[in-house]
Structures are given as C-alpha cells and as structure tokens.
C-alpha cells in the first residue's frame, strides 16, 4: 500500500469524522440553546430540558404513525410530524415553567433545581409507562437526495437534513434575538430584570417565551435525531440533555453564540475521539470536559467573566 | 404658575374630600423589605405640570418610594392613586403604560445593548412608529452626544453619558410623569448643571417631574414643591422656596 493512498484515505476519514461531528454537534447546539436561554433569563438550569427533546422524538413518532395509516406521502409526514412535535413541546415547555418553576420564584435556588429534576424523572417514567422501555423504530421518511451521491461517504440524507434544519433554526433565532422587539426585550430582561420591568416589559411573558423557544428547538433536535438513528427510546433525553448542558457550559452558559459554538466543539471532539481512539471514551470525554471547564474556566469559551444575576 | 393649590392641602391623604384629583397621590403608604419597614405612612401628592422634589439622606427611603410607585415593591398598607384611581396593585408594566417612567438610581443602562437599542426599549410599549421617531429626534436634540454614540454599547459610555441615556430612554416612553432618582449622583458639576437644565426643559415641554435628590440645593431651585424624608417618614413638606430658606433644611441638607 503506497503512502499516497494512505494519505488519501486519511483525508477522507478526517472529512467523514468532521461532518459526523458537525451533525452531532448541531443537535447538541439545538438543545444547548434551551439551557442557555433559560439560564440567561432566570438563572435556572432546567434539568427537565433533555426530556423535552425525547418528548419531541416521541411526538413525531406518534404523529407519523397516525399519518402513515392514512397514507400520506413520506416527506409530507415528516414535515407535519416535526411541526406537531415542535408545537406540542413548546406548549409543554410553557406549562412546565408555569407548573414547576413559577410557583418557586423567589424560593431558595435549590428548590427550582429539585423541581426540575422531579419533572425530568416524572416525564421519563410517564413516557416509559405510556410507551415502552424498548427502542421503538422510527420510520425512514426522508426522500432520496440524489445530489448527495458524490459525497455519500460524508453525509447521508439525514445528516444533510440535520445540518440544514439546525442551521436555519439557529440563524432564525439569532436574527430574532438581534432585531425584533421581543428579542431585544429578552436581552434586556437577561441583563437587568428590574430595569426591564421599569420599561414596561412583562417579565412573565419573556420567561414563557424563553421556555417556548428553547423547547421548540429541543423538539426539533429530537425529531432530527430520531429520523437519523431510526429509533427512539424514553431514556435518550438523559444523556443528550447532559451533553447539551456540557456544550452550553463549554460555550459559556447564558451566551447564545456560546451554546452554538459549544455544541459544535463538543460534537467534533466526540467524533474525532471516537474515530481516532475509541468509541468507549465518547461519554467520558464529554463529562471530562464539563469538569475541566467548571474547575478552570466556569465562564466557558464565550461567556463573560462576570455574569450578573439580580 | 401651574400650581394653584393652597399648600396645606398637599399630601393630606384625603382624596375623597377633594373634587379634582392630583396626578399622583400616595396615601399613608407603608412598604417593607421582609420584616424591615422602609416606608412609614408616606403621603404625598404631585400635580400635573409640576416639578416636585423629594430630598433626604442615605437610606431615608427615597428609592423605595419610587419603586413602590412603579409597582416593583408593593405597599403593605396605604394607597397609590393616579388621577384618583388606585394603582398600587398593578404590575410594573401596567404602571408604565399609564404614563409613569422611572430613571432609576445608578441608571441601569443595559450594558451590552447599543445606545439605539436602549432607546428602542424605552419605547417598548408604544405602537406609534412616527411618534417614536419624533421622540428619538427630540432626545437627540436634548443630548446630541447620544446621536453620535448610537451604535456604541451602553456599557462603554461615560457616567454622564449613561445618565443622559437613562433620561432619554425614559422619555422615549413619552411619560406623563417622569420619576428621577438622584440623576446628579457621581457627576461633575458642569454635567449636573446640564442635566438640571434638561430636566427644566423637559418639564417646560409638558412632562411632570418627581425628582429624588441628595443635591437638595439644586433640586429645590428648580422644583415647585418639596418633601423631606427621614428614616422612612416625610418630616417636612412645603414650597421649594420656603424649604430653601428653612433653618432645618439649610443645616441638615444644604450644609449651611
Ligand atoms: N432590597 C432591600 N432589602 C432590604 N432592605 C432594603 C432594600 N432596599 C433598601 N432597603 C432598606 O430600606 C431603607 C431605604 O432604602 P432606600 O434605598 O429607599 O433609601 P434611599 O433614600 O434611596 O437612600 P440613598 O440615598 O442611599 O439611595 C434602607 O434602610 C435600606 O437599607
Ligand atoms: Mg436611593
């Protein structure tokens, strides 16, 4: 075997790992945004957030199943199922805040955290009982994408869909936060809640909006991953949630670009570790990173040195 | 003079006996932080068109008074009336929508938002783009420096510029009543002069002003009426002119 071929193989493998990392990182980023948005506004780590992602995947599965029975075309089913998941999870996120967090506003910081963990356990078990503990197959609803023919070693239709949809979602979110009236109000509330109130911004609404947006993004992530893996399970939210939380902390919790960068960096790091070393270290890597960040640079990559919380 | 009341009717807290209502009236207001009482039986009133000032030493309860008016702190007892209508149970955003804007102590500029964005948020509750654009021109005419800095992050402005931005942001709501909490705090004398001149101009242009100050001399010079606060109570109330001449005020607050 000549050195040249080795070199060629190497580059190809590298590119494969790179795009694999981006794909996975995009999903982490979508979920991480929910952690970071909520933390930015109310200073709470919403530990039930990973379950929203799982719920998104299951909602899409159920809706797709029903539509399948009525013989809708596959591509259409996926779009409708994804929309249904997003809407359902947004409503769920809204309710979660009202039920589990709002009554505890002003309580010691540990209380809402315990409430969050409680909601997380409740949801996992709810889906476990309502569905099953097995992995449930998720139908392949993606249309063939002929234009991917030449790069199919790098990316299949589901990878392409993940990159496309998550890019659109993240760009839209950035534009929303930057330019719209409510986006500005969200940033103002994150920077100084009292002043936001004095300008007539209804903080309760901003908090609800934050949960709605975060949950919608996580649901989108859940649908994308389900169609990518071809299966779902009640437990997938736990690990994904923890990793996305790691990504949010890595990028700087509270920072929106930070969550995006953190997600991508973590995805790439995992992909390369798995490719060049061993898949056994994948999860250890994420939590190793989490611990190192918390110890040495708790503000993350893009976080500011002083995060003021009122 | 806009003020046509006789002075003994000021803030007597009996809104029911009067035929015309004051713009804003506090009647026997008590506010607490937990178990600590910060306001004790506060009664005061502000007539439309006036500049009214509230002076007092550190910790007297001046900021608490403003925050209670704005619905950030809730009074445990007493009433706050806006043209005779109780408003002390309203959430802050509804108080703002009545036409009450506050420039809080310490300015509270959003540091990571640009000057323009800070001003946009001042007009958060408004839905008249033309009016908002006119008011933007108005505040830029008051403080031309802000027009130059519009793209700069609020946190990078100097203290004086931040105070100008805070006042402008409040004016962008086109308030009927402007509450100012120690606008002269920490500023150079020349900037203080400028800020006080602007407060008078804003008032002359039709905005009623409630001015909290430790700089009693300056405040009493531009105000029609004044209240003096000590340990959570109103201890004196009179025309600004008479307060300026009063022996107690001169020794306690004017250092004379
Ligand atoms: N958030 C709070 N929690 C507990 N006590 C408070 C709080 N804010 C103010 N206080 C207390 O209430 C009293 C009145 O405070 P306030 O800030 O209204 O005074 P002030 O007249 O504005 O003083 P300064 O001139 O220093 O701004 C003080 O004794 C203060 O310690
Ligand atoms: Mg004060």
Complex ipTM value: 0.91
What gap in Å lies between CA B6 and CA B10, rounded to an integer?
8
B154 touches A234 (CB < 8 A): no
Q: With helix as H, strand as E and coil as C, how does B134-198 read?
A: HHHHHHHHHCHHHHHCCCCEHHHCCHHHHHHHHHHHHHCCCCCEEEEECCCCCCCHHHHHHHHHH
B59 CA distance to ligand 1 middle (Å): 5
Residue B250: per-residue pLDDT: 86
Structure tokens at A133: 């503990």
What SS3 state is found at B212?
A: strand
A68 touches A76 (CB < 8 A): no
Tell me which residue has its CA closest to atom 9 in ligand 1: B64
- Pairs of residues, one from chain A and one from chain B, whose beta carbons lie less than 8 Å apart: 61
Residue A305: per-residue pLDDT: 47
How much is the average pLDDT of A202-222? 97
What gap in Å lies between CA B106 and CA B166, rounded to an integer?
9
B102 touches B70 (CB < 8 A): yes
What gap in Å lies between CA B31 and CA B34, rounded to an integer?
9
Nearest C-alpha neighbor of B142 from the set B168, B118, B121: B168
- Ligand 1 pocket (Cβ < 6 Å) reads B 33, 36, 38, 56, 58-64, 105, 214
What gap in Å lies between CA B7 and CA A291, rounded to an integer?
67
Which has more confidence, B83 or A280?
Answer: B83
Measured CA distances, A95 to A87, A91, A119, A298, B138 (Å): 12, 6, 11, 31, 43
B39 touches B31 (CB < 8 A): yes
What gap in Å lies between CA A40 and CA A143, rounded to an integer?
38
Side-chain-side CA neighbours of A139 within 13 Å: the count stands at 18
Q: pLDDT (tens digit, 9 = 90+) per residue, A135-183?
A: 888 888 888 787 887 777 778 888 999 999 999 999 999 999 999 999 9
Q: Which of B29, B42, B57, B61 to mutate to test the pocket of ligand 1 (most atoms within 8 A of CB)?
A: B61
Residue A300: per-residue pLDDT: 82
Q: Are B96 and A181 an interchain contact pair (Cβ–Cβ within 8 Å)?
A: no
Side-chain-side CA neighbours of A49 within 13 Å: the count stands at 35
**pLDDT tens, residue order, chain B (256 aa):** 344 444 444 445 454 555 689 999 999 999 999 999 999 999 999 999 999 999 999 999 999 999 999 999 999 999 999 999 999 999 999 999 999 999 999 999 999 999 999 999 999 999 999 999 999 999 999 999 999 999 999 999 999 999 999 999 999 999 999 999 999 999 999 999 999 999 999 999 999 999 999 989 999 999 999 999 999 999 999 999 999 999 888 888 776 6
Nearest C-alpha neighbor of A32 from the set A229, A309, A274, A290: A290
Residues 6 or more apart from A241 whose CB is under 8 A from it?
A31, A47, A49, A50, A51, A53, A120
Residue A201 confidence class, pLDDT cut points 50, 70, 90: very high
B147-182 b/e with 16+ CB inside 10 Å = b?
eebeeebbeebeebbbbbbbbbbbbbbbbbbbbbbb
Q: Give the chain A residue whose CA is nearest to the CA of B104.
A: A195
- Does an H or E element contain B227, and which? strand B225-230
Interface of A with B (CB under 8 A): 181, 184-185, 187-188, 191-192, 194-202
Return the number of other C-beta atoms located less than 10 Å from residue A277's C-beta: 11
Structure tokens at A93: 């996120």
Q: Are B110 and A199 an interchain contact pair (Cβ–Cβ within 8 Å)?
A: no
Tell me which residue has its CA closest to atom 1 in ligand 1: B33
Residue B252: per-residue pLDDT: 82
* A49 has pLDDT over 60: yes
Phi, psi of B31 (to 5 degrees): -125, 140
Domains annotated on chain A, with CATH: 14-144+154-296 (1.10.3470)
CA B16 to chain CA mean position, Å: 25
* Mean pLDDT (chain A, rounded): 89
* Nearest ligand for residue B65 CA: 1
Measured CA distances, B142 to A89, A167, A203, B25 (Å): 48, 44, 31, 29
Q: pLDDT (tens digit, 9 = 90+) per residue, A230-248?
A: 999 998 999 999 999 999 9
Q: Distance (Å) from the C-alpha of residue B255 to the closest C-alpha of chain A?
A: 33
What gap in Å lies between CA A224 and CA A163, rounded to an integer?
10
What gap in Å lies between CA B119 and CA B101, rounded to an integer?
13
Q: Which of B31, B36, B39, B59 to mutate to test the pocket of ligand 1 (most atoms within 8 A of CB)?
A: B59
Return the number of other C-beta atoms located less than 10 Å from residue A16's C-beta: 16
- The widest CA-to-CA distance across chain A, in whole angstroms, is 72
What gap in Å lies between CA B140 and CA B127, rounded to an integer?
20
B41 touches B233 (CB < 8 A): yes
B219 touches B213 (CB < 8 A): yes
Cα-Cα end-to-end distance for chain B: 29
B169 and chain A: CB distance < 8 Å anywhere? yes
* A295 has pLDDT over 90: no
B198 touches B176 (CB < 8 A): no
A45 CA distance to ligand 1 middle (Å): 31
A247 touches A39 (CB < 8 A): no
- Does an H or E element contain B33, and which? strand B24-33
A193 CA distance to ligand 2 middle (Å): 18
């Amino acid at each position: 075997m000549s050195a040249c071929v080795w070199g060629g193989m190497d580059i190809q493998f590298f590119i494969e790992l790179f795009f694999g990392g981006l794909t996975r990182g995009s999903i982490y980023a979508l979920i991480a945004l929910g952690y970071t948005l909520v933390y930015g506004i109310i200073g709470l780590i919403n530990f039930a957030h990973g379950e929203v992602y799982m719920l998104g995947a299951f909602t899409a599965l159920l809706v797709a199943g029903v539509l399948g029975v009525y013989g809708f075309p596959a591509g259409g089913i996926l779009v409708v199922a994804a929309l249904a998941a997003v809407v359902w999870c947004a409503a769920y996120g809204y309710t979660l805040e009202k039920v589990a967090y709002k009554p505890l506003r002003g309580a010691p910081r540990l209380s809402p955290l315990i409430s969050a963990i409680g909601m997380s356990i409740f949801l996992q078990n709810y889906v476990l009982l309502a569905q099953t503990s097995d992995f449930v197959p998720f139908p392949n609803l993606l249309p063939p994408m002929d234009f991917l023919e030449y790069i199919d070693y790098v990316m299949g239709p589901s990878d392409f869909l993940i990159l496309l949809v998550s890019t659109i979602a993240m760009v839209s979110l950035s534009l929303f936060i930057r330019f719209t009236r409510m986006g500005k109000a969200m940033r103002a509330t994150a920077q100084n809640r009292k002043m936001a109130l004095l300008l007539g911004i209804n903080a309760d609404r901003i908090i609800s909006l934050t949960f709605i947006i975060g949950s919608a993004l996580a649901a989108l992530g859940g649908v994308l991953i389900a169609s990518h893996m071809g299966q779902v399970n009640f437990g997938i939210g736990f690990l994904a949630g923890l990793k996305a939380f790691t990504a949010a902390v890595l990028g700087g919790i509270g920072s929106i670009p930070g969550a995006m960068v953190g997600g991508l960096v973590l995805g790439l790091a995992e992909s390369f570790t798995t490719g060049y070393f061993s898949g056994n270290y994948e999860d250890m890597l994420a939590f190793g990173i989490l611990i190192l960040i918390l110890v040495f640079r708790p503000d993350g990559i893009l976080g500011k040195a002083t995060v003021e919380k009122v | 003079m806009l003020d046509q009341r006789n002075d003994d009717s000021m803030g007597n807290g009996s809104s029911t006996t009067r035929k015309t209502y004051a713009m804003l009236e506090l009647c026997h207001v008590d506010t607490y932080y937990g178990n600590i009482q910060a306001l004790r039986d506060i009664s005061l009133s502000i007539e439309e068109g006036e500049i009214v000032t509230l002076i007092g030493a550190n910790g007297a309860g001046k900021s608490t008074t403003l925050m209670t008016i704005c619905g950030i702190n809730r009074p445990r007892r007493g009433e706050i009336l806006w043209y005779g209508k109780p408003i002390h149970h309203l959430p802050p955003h509804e108080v703002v929508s009545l036409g009450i804007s506050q420039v809080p102590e310490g300015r509270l500029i959003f540091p990571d938002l640009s000057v323009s964005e800070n001003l946009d948020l001042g007009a958060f509750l408004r839905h008249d783009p033309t009016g908002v654009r006119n008011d933007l021109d108005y505040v830029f005419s008051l403080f031309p420096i802000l027009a130059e800095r519009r793209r700069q992050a609020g946190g990078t402005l100097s203290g004086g510029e931040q105070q100008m931005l805070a006042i402008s942001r409040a004016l962008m709501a086109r308030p009927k009543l402007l509450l100012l909490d120690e606008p002269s705090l920490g500023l150079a004398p020349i900037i203080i002069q400028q800020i006080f001149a602007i407060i008078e101009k804003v008032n002359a242009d039709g905005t009623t002003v409630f001015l909290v100050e430790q700089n009693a001399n300056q405040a009493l010079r531009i105000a029609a009426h004044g209240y003096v606060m000590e340990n959570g109570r109103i201890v004196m109330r009179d025309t600004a002119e008479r307060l300026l001449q009063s022996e107690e005020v001169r020794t306690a607050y004017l250092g004379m």
